[in-house]
Amino acid sequence: MRPWRLRCLMAALAVLTPTASQAHLVTTRLGDFYDGALHPMTGFEFALPWLALVILAALQGPARGRWLILAFPIGLLAGATLSAWLPGLSFVQFVNIAAIAGIGLLVALAMQLPMAVFLGLSLLVGLANGYENGEAMVFNTDRFLFICGVTAIGYTFAVLALALATSFLVGRGGWRTIALRAGGSWIAAVGIMVAGFQLSGLYHT
């Protein structure tokens, strides 16, 4: 190999190998919209209720489950906006954790819910989760962009994950529903434990 090629190769290696330092994981440095969009992925307490709700929606069937795509982002939008106006509602954190346990159990039982209950649940989970995400906004955050980011990722996740879960369910084999129900029991188990932890007064984020 010629020396200049070797130098180029080594320079490329030197440039490509190091990765960014991660002192502040939440800030994306891509702007407040992306901060909002990525914030729900920074903790399982945000992602688990979303996942459980999507699986529950898939188990309700396409006709009813599709309403999640409307109700959930509206809940997120309202919750994140509420957090900007009325911050510090500590009970919302428990609602969020209890939702993990409750919806996980509904999934494990493959419960068919009345339409109004399902819509209300989607809104409530969106509201609590949006509020919890909105609490991450600080004084110099562009609230509009952050809230839009949270809502947009919620909408995108609901559409894609619901499509995936629904298409998974329509495939052949009874094991598919069982697999989702087992997933629900896992989610419920996490929710029950963390809810117990929270009620014990030891859990603080």
Which one of 27, 28, 42, 141 is in contact with another protein (CB under 8 A)? 42
Residue range at the interface with another protein (CB under 8 A); choices 74-82, 124-132, 149-157, 182-190: 182-190
| Token pair belonging to 21 | 């330092």
The least CB distance from residue 7 to another protein, in Å, is: 6
What are the CA-CA distances from residue 37 to residues 69, 132, 149 (Å)? 17, 13, 4
- What does residue 177 show for φ and ψ, rounded to 5 degrees? -65, -40
Alpha-carbon distance 111 to 42, whole Å? 29
Please report, as residue ranges, which positions from 9 to 28 form the binding site for another protein (by CB under 8 A): 10-11, 13-14, 17-25
| 104 CB-contact burial (10 Å; exposed 0-12 / middle 13-18 / buried 19+) | buried
The least CB distance from residue 56 to another protein, in Å, is: 16
By CB under 8 A, tell whether 200 contacts another protein.
yes
Q: 198 CB contacts (<8 Å, ≥6 apart)?
A: 93, 94, 97
The least CB distance from residue 134 to another protein, in Å, is: 19
Residues that bind another protein in the complex, under the rule CB under 8 A: 3-4, 6-7, 10-11, 13-14, 17-25, 42-45, 48, 97, 105, 108, 178, 181-182, 185-186, 188-194, 196-197, 200, 202-203
